[in-house]
Structure 1
Amino acid sequence: MNKFSVIIFLMLLQGVAIAQKSESILLKNATIIDGDASVKPYKGFLLIKDGYIQSVTTTAPKVANAKVIDCTGKFITPGLMDAHIHLATADLTDPKKARLSTDSITGNMLRHGITTLRDMAGNAPYLANYKKDVQSGKVLGPDVFYAAQFAGPGYFAMMANGRKGEEDLGHTAWYCAIKTKSDVKPAIANAKKAGVTGIKIYANLSKELIREITNEAHKQGLLAWAHGAIFPSKPMDVAQSGVNSMSHANDLVFQQIKGDTIEIGAAWAQLYKGLKLDSNMRDKMLLEMKKHGTFLDPTVFHAENNKMFNAALITRRAHQLGVKIVAGTDWIYPEKDEAVPLLDEMNLLVSKCGMNNLEAIQAATLNAAEVTGLKDRGVIRKGKRADLLLLDADPSITLNALFKPLVVFKAGKRVFTATEAR
């Protein structure tokens, strides 16, 4: 697209911003990338009204009083999602300062096409307040769905000295120490009251407690998200519990350590001495995950930066075996208008894990929505929320195009339009 065309296009979209509350918006002649990699990109017409996709057709729909935007030569995808982030684990002793930082981080995410986040444990009141402000329109940012972290008391005792403003670590609804099965039911009820979507099963728990937490979370309408290894419990214990997702593909290598349980210090020492991946053990683990419909949240970018190269190998095999992969970073996001790590994660899913671009897009859209229990987004279909990216280049050729959107729509509203400089 030449510079003149971009300027005219953005002027048209300014009109959308004024009229979008009362009028329908018809995006015509775009190439639509569904979010489900099995659906081939196609030319179509996308009608938005009242925050939702009213129709997606290959011929022009008959609709009165719609604002029509010609998207010839452009591409539409679902909004992106980072399925592993932590927004509320830093120093929160100065709430105003912390919030300014969070708003800068999430604003940058939104500009780069990220419209939803799965926060994998942090201060729930802080996250609830942020979520409320986003929903009310007070703040422009991605929607956030967050977890409570459950672990054994030994873990929280170990961590207590390093968390400013969290002296009660292990004794809140969102950071909860679990000692016995009798603790589980009330702890999950309290977490649900704190607004969480899932329980993050983290560390220092027996396989019996992992199963108890998973089952009770599901009974109370919450999801169960776990680390790949819950020391002293082994990865197979986690997979057999029926959790909804397992994070950090590299953790699965700890299944190879002999014994019914694993000690965290000794396990990591073995890893860094060059613990070699056993392909038979790996496949048994992954097939168990597939059997239970457990998603793999591999955090390959995080692993590569920490020289944990088994993560990519395990993720590649998981994809071959049909385990669903979600794109999450567990990485620090910049506050300024800078590149975001979700691009790095997705590029690694393609370059090292055997995915094509459409499959990587599915990991950051449909799969990420499903692992979070969200049925209203992640694909471009009638009745789904209009969380959409309008792109000037084809992301099936270059994933970079996803992170330079011309327009970001969130619930049908234009929340970001690129400037000429961008």
Structure 2
Amino acid sequence: MIRLKILVSLILWHGALYAQKINTVLLKNATIIDGDAAVKPRIGSLLIENGIIKSVSFGQLKKVSPGAKVIDCTGKFISPGLMDSHVHLATADLSNVEKARLSTDSILVNLLKHGITTVRDMAGNAPYLAYYKSAIENDKVLGPDIYYAAQFAGPGYFKMMGNGRKGEKDLGNSAWYRAISQKSDVKQAITDAKKAGVTGIKIYADLSKELIREITEEAHRQGLLAWAHAAIFPSKPMDVAIAGVNSMSHANDLVFQQIKGDTISIGAAWAQVYKGLRLDSAVRDQLLLEMKKHNTFLDPTVFHAENNKMVNAVLITSRAHQLGIKIVTGTDWIYPTKDEPVPLLDEMKLLTSKCGMTNLEVIQAATLNGAEVTGLKDRGAIRVGKRADLLILDSNPEQNLEALFKPHTVFQKGKMVFQRK
């Protein structure tokens, strides 16, 4: 009861939130930001039926669908809902689940009201995430759709972690935190992870290049994605890229490829970085081109890097963009529980100010690319047949990205879930 009262108070304080079940909605005369940077924004209208974009028309609207709720968006802009492709919603203290959910409920509402309608959770407690994934999909909790990973790492990593996460016991022996060695049954481990509801396997640390490849190939065989850190230690970034993973996180870590030797020591490698390891552009480009060959997305987390004085992240991300590697917007940062600015805005601003991307390209990274890296074909762009996860904006995000994070209205599955007063 206490949790319910707090959540209701939070919702009323933030603005009008809805779960209106209107089958047909017409959004007319808005400037449509497609989600694909190659598509020029232009004025048009959207017809939504049963949560799906039924039609997209440009120019003067000649006919209005009978029975549709019509919303005049003259002077406004419509974009796809945003996606943070690197969050952690279930790595905090879970020893008191009811207390943890109070915080998570507030974070999820804040994400949604800032226009974030989908997240890729890069490893955490799977039962906790499964609860929220189901509750959100069934309209029992307000929040972005959640797609999550199981974390695979070597036994040494989990031994180092011990029982460092409160509410988690016996790390390394669950379907979502799995210790993998040469003796492990990788096929069974991935089957177990799939049963826990994951969308991808996060390949994390303390794994050989042979195991990275085996995990990647088996994940793909079982219909899951392979998401990896850029450096797995002792394996180098090139080992990860050659394995054909779907995404590599943390652009700064690609610099470890230039350290001599077939393998790298985590302590010695970071020591070189903090001593000012200079980026070798030839090594960088060779690695980035290998990523491009495999259509591997880069999840650069430049905001995270800038806050930790990792200067190579923006240099590598900028070059990746020049080479045509698809970039997604992940933060790997803490989200506030109150109505405060969110780190995804900081990530997107850095991609424009320091990495050479236009606002439309960054919007694509936060919409269409985010959907693709998660294997989602039903969202990320304003097209017929896509899910109606949409933001109605008061000003032009092509001119100012902050407009995305102050949406007038947020639609999720065609339902108005937030409207700013």
Q: Within 5 Å, give how 1:275-314 maps onto structure 2.
A: 275-314=277-316
Q: Among 117, 120, 123, which residue is 2:122 paired with?
A: 120
Q: Within 5 Å, give how 1:209-228 maps onto structure 2.
A: 209-228=211-230
Q: Which runs of 5+ in 1 are unaligned?
A: 1-13
Q: Among 208, 212, 222, which residue is 2:210 paired with?
A: 208
Distance 2:108 2:330 in 1: 15
Residue 194 to residue 122, structure 1, CA distance change in 2 (3 Å): same
Distance 2:308 2:77 in 1: 35
Match of 1:412 in 2: 414
Distance 2:405 2:364 in 1: 15
Q: CA deviation at 1:32?
A: 0.1
Distance 1:180 1:88 in 2: 29
Distance 1:296 1:83 in 2: 10
Match of 1:50 in 2: 50
Measured against aligned partners, the alpha-carbon deviations of 1:174-211 in whole angstroms (never above 9, x if no partner) come to 00000126421000000000000000000000000000
Distance 2:333 2:341 in 1: 13
Local SS of the residue matching 1:162: coil
Which letter does structure 2 place at the counterpart of 1:67?
A: K
Q: CA deviation at 1:21?
A: 2.9
Residue 225 to residue 23, structure 1, CA distance change in 2 (3 Å): closer
Which letter does structure 2 place at the counterpart of 1:339?
A: P
Q: CA deviation at 1:223?
A: 0.0
Match of 2:318 in 1: 316
Q: Among 365, 368, 377, which residue is 2:367 paired with?
A: 365
Which letter does structure 1 place at the counterpart of 2:91?
A: T
Match of 2:6 in 1: none
Match of 1:24 in 2: 24
Match of 2:392 in 1: 390
Q: Within 5 Å, give how 1:111-260 maps onto structure 2.
A: 111-180=113-182, 182-260=184-262
Is the Cα–Cα contact under 8 Å of residues 152 and 203 in structure 1 kept in the other structure? yes
Q: Among 73, 76, 80, which residue is 1:74 paired with?
A: 76
Match of 1:95 in 2: 97
Which letter does structure 1 place at the counterpart of 2:209?
A: K
Measured against aligned partners, the alpha-carbon deviations of 1:104-136 in whole angstroms (never above 9, x if no partner) come to 011101010000000000000000001111111
Distance 2:346 2:105 in 1: 22
Distance 2:218 2:316 in 1: 30
Distance 2:167 2:53 in 1: 43
Distance 2:183 2:224 in 1: 17
Is the Cα–Cα contact under 8 Å of residues 160 and 166 in structure 1 kept in the other structure? no
Local SS of the residue matching 1:27: strand
Q: CA deviation at 1:366?
A: 0.2
Is the Cα–Cα contact under 8 Å of residues 23 and 65 in structure 1 kept in the other structure? no
Measured against aligned partners, the alpha-carbon deviations of 1:335-361 in whole angstroms (never above 9, x if no partner) come to 000000000000000000000000000
Match of 1:337 in 2: 339
User: Cα RMSD (Å) of the superposition?
Assistant: 1.2
Local SS of the residue matching 2:137: helix
Q: CA deviation at 1:65?
A: 1.4
Is the Cα–Cα contact under 8 Å of residues 202 and 227 in structure 1 kept in the other structure? yes
Q: CA deviation at 1:167?
A: 2.2
1:65 aligns with 2:76: no
Measured against aligned partners, the alpha-carbon deviations of 1:382-405 in whole angstroms (never above 9, x if no partner) come to 000000000000000000000000
Is the Cα–Cα contact under 8 Å of residues 229 and 238 in structure 1 kept in the other structure? yes
Q: CA deviation at 1:64?
A: 1.2
Which letter does structure 1 place at the counterpart of 2:55?
A: S
Distance 1:332 1:231 in 2: 25
Q: What TM-score, normalized to structure 1? A: 0.94
Distance 1:378 1:108 in 2: 20
Q: Within 5 Å, give how 1:2-13 maps onto structure 2.
A: none
Which letter does structure 2 place at the counterpart of 1:63?
A: S
Distance 1:181 1:40 in 2: 53
Is the Cα–Cα contact under 8 Å of residues 163 and 171 in structure 2 kept in the other structure? no
Is the Cα–Cα contact under 8 Å of residues 35 and 380 in structure 1 kept in the other structure? yes
Is the Cα–Cα contact under 8 Å of residues 163 and 170 in structure 2 kept in the other structure? no
Q: Among 400, 403, 406, which residue is 2:402 paired with?
A: 400
Residue 232 to residue 109, structure 1, CA distance change in 2 (3 Å): same
Q: CA deviation at 1:68?
A: 1.2
Is the Cα–Cα contact under 8 Å of residues 23 and 51 in structure 2 kept in the other structure? no
Distance 2:82 2:248 in 1: 20
Residue 167 to residue 22, structure 1, CA distance change in 2 (3 Å): closer
Measured against aligned partners, the alpha-carbon deviations of 1:50-95 in whole angstroms (never above 9, x if no partner) come to 0110100114244211111111100000000000000000110000
Distance 1:133 1:17 in 2: 16
Distance 1:89 1:78 in 2: 28
Q: CA deviation at 1:165?
A: 2.0
Local SS of the residue matching 1:35: coil
Which letter does structure 2 place at the counterpart of 1:138?
A: K
Local SS of the residue matching 1:312: helix
Is the Cα–Cα contact under 8 Å of residues 18 and 418 in structure 2 kept in the other structure? no
Residue 330 to residue 241, structure 1, CA distance change in 2 (3 Å): same
Match of 1:11 in 2: none
Is the Cα–Cα contact under 8 Å of residues 248 and 300 in structure 1 kept in the other structure? yes
